[in-house]
Amino acid sequence: DSADYDAEVKSICPFCGVGCQVSMKVKDNKIKYVDGINGPANEGRLCVKGRFGFDYIHHPHRLTKPLIRRDDAPDKGLNVDPANPWTHFREATWDEALEKAAHGLVDLRSYYGGKSVAGFGSAKCTNEEAYLFQKLIRQGFGHNNVDHCTRLCHASSVAALMENVGSGAVTAGFNEIENAEVAIVIGANPTENHPVAATYFKQFAKDGGQLIVIDPRAQTLRRYASHMLQFRPGTDVALLNAIMNVIVEEKLYDRQYIEGFTEGFFEFRDHIRAFTPERMSEICGIDPDTIRDVARTYAGAARAMIFWGMGISQHIHGTDNARCLISLALLCGQIGRPGTGLHPLRGQNNVQGASDAGLIPHVMPNYQSVTDPEVRALFRHIWGGTEIDATPGMTVVEIIDAIYRGEIRGMYILGENPAMSDPDVEHARKALAQLDHLVVQDIFLTETANFADVILPAAAFPEKNGTVTNTNRQVQMGRKAISPPGDARPDWELLVELANRIGLDWDYDGPRSVFDEMKMSMRNLHHITWNRVENEGSVTYPANSKDDPGQSVMFGDGFPRRAGRAKFTPARVTPPAEAPNDEYPMILITGRQLEHWHTGAMTRRSAVLDDIEPEANCSLHPATLRKMGVAPGGHVRLSTRRGSVEIMARADRSVAEDCVFLPFAFVEAAANVLTNPTLDPWGKIPEFKYSAVRVDPA
């Protein structure tokens, strides 16, 4: 009823990378409710988070004043009550807080050098804010130690795509599934994590498409699947190489495509011959006949797509897993036409855009390498003479380790929550406590803000303007619907304030002027203007002209690599970093669940979402619970080599009997107390999807 609201503002859902367009109904500076509208990624649909999860912005825990750590505060630790932080922090004016934030960082720069300060930016911010954040670190401190949560989700996928395809983004939007005959969904649970994208996958199956679901959990999507392969965790390369072995041995590959568009096939063919379905079946647990059937189904399709999630990427062999998926598509020529492609489903609503904007330690905006002298010359020119450090910077987990070594002594963390999201999180929390100076900018007093010296209150997503880029490469407009509470200010404004106080000479009058500067170095944004995004609602990159709505499918005429050819990179079977043993006999898999988003800072402060899923929980097979004598809803203790948590256990037949699935949104049973920090050597992503664990009745 329009009487319920005074204004209607079109924007983007702040949660996942699907990028659903929403209409926010506003009255008295409050969002009353949210509807889905006809965006290209959602066509009016929303999931429960987008529909009901907006009220976190009105939660009483919102930060409304700058805070400074009190001189007589207790030692730093996870010990601050967000409703009553006054024994640890005191209110400050903006001027005092910004001066203290800036001077603390500048003092470290003067005394220990610029590399003593690192930054974590955020995929929850806009493209313009991500761009400004990496610029502040690179220009203000003279190095590339800047990263964000892509390191914990798809860094390995991007490493493999950059290496073999020449571009880190998806080759086709997920809506292309409408044109496919066969689709593989592997290591992803879109029903919970990309729910609106999942509706397209389900419709595809209902319309007769063959949906091949490959996952260690027999998730809900199996009901729509022609094939459900519940393989052993951590054996992705064995299974995928076996599928490709069948395609090579039975000559099901697309010879013409391989000759025209790829390199490295013959070495790859020789490599793959050892990975027979019979041998690999013993490792991955899928019978050889099923492997052959899946190989023939994918290779026999006229048009086929591959979708993947963090089940692929979050392994010490995450880059190898993604290399296999790329090789599979190249073998069968399934890239570059409608209904074909490779699509890593991106997590945060702007993780694609934040990565594009250069919030990554080894590349500048648009994935331009810091080691390339021409790239550095370009940015020197655009950034008024700034010398760009030619050394790739440290990644998230490496930065935490560098704090222990005393190399990094100060940090600026915007919108990230490493005190919850990092592997072996007690290790990360101790590192944060050790910093000489920590500036946290956020909308809530997060677990990470517990360790801050200065906290800068930021505007939430519906309280500011800016562009965001979804998993489909669609650049869309996030619009301000209401004013921020109290003294909170948009992140871009705070970045400009801080930059000028650390000695930079920045002059931006709003996100639009930042976007215009981004266009000077970002080929992706060619033919995409602020006005186009504003007026058209969504423009996909690449766009071929100022009228082109953008290309959903890329690489029909070659790849942005040498001679236009994509590359086969062979992958070997690597076991997980730690094997189960008598003491830790089961396998821990962490992930998300439908109602809660990442570290829970937003969704656990949303009334509807928290009412549906209020308690920390893990999932175990009913037979496993029976053996332990624990009833569903009872409590168990999960222990790994890093720590232990106590948590309510649900019975879930989709989880294998030797596995436990644990969401990571709950601070009271933080999954990352348990996880293994060992990194994939290329993507530098931790192995969140496999830890040896012991489960006991609590």
Query: Cβ closer to ligand SF4: 336 or 591?
Result: 591
Burial of 48 (0-12, 13-18, 19+ CB in 10 A): middle
Q: What is the DSSP string of 20-51?
A: -EEEEEEETTEEEEEEE---TTTTT---HHHH
- For ligand SF4, the nearest residue by Cβ is 50
Query: Cβ closer to ligand SF4: 262 or 606?
Result: 606
Using only C-alpha atoms, the chain has a radius of gyration, in whole angstroms, of: 24
| # of chain residues touching ligand SF4 (CB under 6 A) | 14
Query: Cβ closer to ligand SF4: 18 or 630?
Result: 18
Q: Is the peptide bond before 542 cis (omega within 30 degrees of 0)?
A: yes
Binding to ligand SF4, residues 435-464 (CB under 6 A): none
Query: Cβ closer to ligand SF4: 19 or 344?
Result: 19
User: What's the closest the beta carbon of residue 199 comes to ligand SF4, in angstroms?
Assistant: 9
Please list the alpha-helical segments (H only) found in 389-452: 396-404, 418-421, 425-434
d(CA 567, CA 35) in angstroms, rounded, equals 44
User: What's the closest the beta carbon of residue 18 comes to ligand SF4, in angstroms?
Assistant: 4
x/- site string to ligand SF4, residues 495 to 524, per CB under 6 A? Answer: ------------------------------
Query: Cβ closer to ligand SF4: 479 or 641?
Result: 479
Burial of 1 (0-12, 13-18, 19+ CB in 10 A): exposed
d(CA 237, CA 290) in angstroms, rounded, equals 16
Q: Stretches 16-24, 393-401, 513-521, 562-570: which one binds ligand SF4 (CB under 6 A)?
A: 16-24
User: CB neighbours of 152 closer than 8 A, spacing ≥ 6?
Assistant: 314, 396, 421, 422, 685, 686, 688
User: What's the closest the beta carbon of residue 35 comes to ligand SF4, in angstroms?
Assistant: 11
State which of residues 13, 125, 162, 205 lies at the interface with ligand SF4 (CB under 6 A).
13
Q: Stretches 17-25, 521-529, 610-618, 679-687: which one binds ligand SF4 (CB under 6 A)?
A: 17-25
User: What's the closest the beta carbon of residue 423 comes to ligand SF4, in angstroms?
Assistant: 24
Q: Which of 658, 633, 659 is nearest to 647 (CA)?
A: 633
User: CB neighbours of 346 closer than 8 A, spacing ≥ 6?
Assistant: 17, 153, 154, 170, 352, 470, 471
x/- site string to ligand SF4, residues 26 to 65, per CB under 6 A? Answer: ----------------x---xx-xx---------------
User: What's the closest the beta carbon of residue 43 comes to ligand SF4, in angstroms?
Assistant: 11
Distances (CA, A) of 560 to 44, 164, 165, 321, 567: 35, 10, 7, 22, 11
User: What's the closest the beta carbon of residue 197 comes to ligand SF4, in angstroms?
Assistant: 7
Query: Cβ closer to ligand SF4: 159 or 198?
Result: 198
Query: Cβ closer to ligand SF4: 15 or 257?
Result: 15
User: What's the closest the beta carbon of residue 602 comes to ligand SF4, in angstroms?
Assistant: 11
User: What's the closest the beta carbon of residue 644 comes to ligand SF4, in angstroms?
Assistant: 31
Phi, psi of 685 (to 5 degrees): -105, 140
State which of residues 5, 15, 530, 688 lies at the interface with ligand SF4 (CB under 6 A).
15
Q: Stretches 14-22, 122-130, 224-232, 548-556: which one binds ligand SF4 (CB under 6 A)?
A: 14-22
Binding to ligand SF4, residues 608-647 (CB under 6 A): none
Query: Cβ closer to ligand SF4: 283 or 602?
Result: 602
Q: Which of 30, 29, 36, 31 is nearest to 51 (CA)?
A: 36
User: CB neighbours of 400 closer than 8 A, spacing ≥ 6?
Assistant: 418, 422, 427, 428, 431
18 binds ligand SF4, rule: CB under 6 A? yes
d(CA 139, CA 402) in angstroms, rounded, equals 21
Query: Cβ closer to ligand SF4: 42 or 319?
Result: 42
Run of H or E including 477: strand 474-478
User: What's the closest the beta carbon of residue 13 comes to ligand SF4, in angstroms?
Assistant: 3
Q: Which of 131, 102, 139 is nearest to 492 (CA)?
A: 131
Query: Cβ closer to ligand SF4: 42 or 167?
Result: 42
C-beta separation of 416 from 151 below 8 A: no
Binding to ligand SF4, residues 136-195 (CB under 6 A): 194-195
d(CA 321, CA 331) in angstroms, rounded, equals 15
Query: Cβ closer to ligand SF4: 421 or 676?
Result: 421
Query: Cβ closer to ligand SF4: 602 or 638?
Result: 602
Q: Stretches 11-19, 379-387, 423-431, 436-444: which one binds ligand SF4 (CB under 6 A)?
A: 11-19
Q: Which residue pairs from 583-586 have beta carbons closer than 8 angstroms and sit at least 24 positions apart in sequence?
A: 583/694, 584/639, 584/640, 584/641, 584/692, 584/693, 584/694, 585/658, 585/692, 585/694, 586/624, 586/658, 586/659, 586/660, 586/692, 586/693, 586/694, 586/695
User: What's the closest the beta carbon of residue 101 comes to ligand SF4, in angstroms?
Assistant: 32
Count CA atoms within 13 Å of residue 330 on its CB side. 28
User: What's the closest the beta carbon of residue 354 comes to ligand SF4, in angstroms?
Assistant: 16
Query: Cβ closer to ligand SF4: 138 or 194?
Result: 194
User: What's the closest the beta carbon of residue 321 comes to ligand SF4, in angstroms?
Assistant: 24
Give the neighbor-by-neighbor strand order of the sheet with 474-478. 466-469, 474-478, 538-540
User: What's the closest the beta carbon of residue 665 comes to ligand SF4, in angstroms?
Assistant: 14
The pair of three-digit structure tokens given for residue 559, joined into one six-digit string:
């790849």
Q: What is the 8-class DSSP label of residue 147?
A: E
The pair of three-digit structure tokens given for residue 627, joined into one six-digit string:
């053996």
Binding to ligand SF4, residues 188-217 (CB under 6 A): 194-196
d(CA 114, CA 228) in angstroms, rounded, equals 51
User: What's the closest the beta carbon of residue 344 comes to ligand SF4, in angstroms?
Assistant: 15
Pairing assessment for the beta strands 304-308 and 182-186 based on DSSP bridges: parallel
User: What's the closest the beta carbon of residue 22 comes to ligand SF4, in angstroms?
Assistant: 7
Q: Exposure pattern of 618-641 as b/e (b: 16+ CB <10 Å)?
A: bbbbeebbeeeebeeeebbebbbe
Query: Cβ closer to ligand SF4: 183 or 299?
Result: 183
Query: Cβ closer to ligand SF4: 76 or 194?
Result: 194
User: What's the closest the beta carbon of residue 362 comes to ligand SF4, in angstroms?
Assistant: 29
Query: Cβ closer to ligand SF4: 359 or 594?
Result: 594
Q: Which residues bind ligand SF4 (CB under 6 A)?
A: 13, 15-16, 18-20, 42, 46-47, 49-50, 194-196
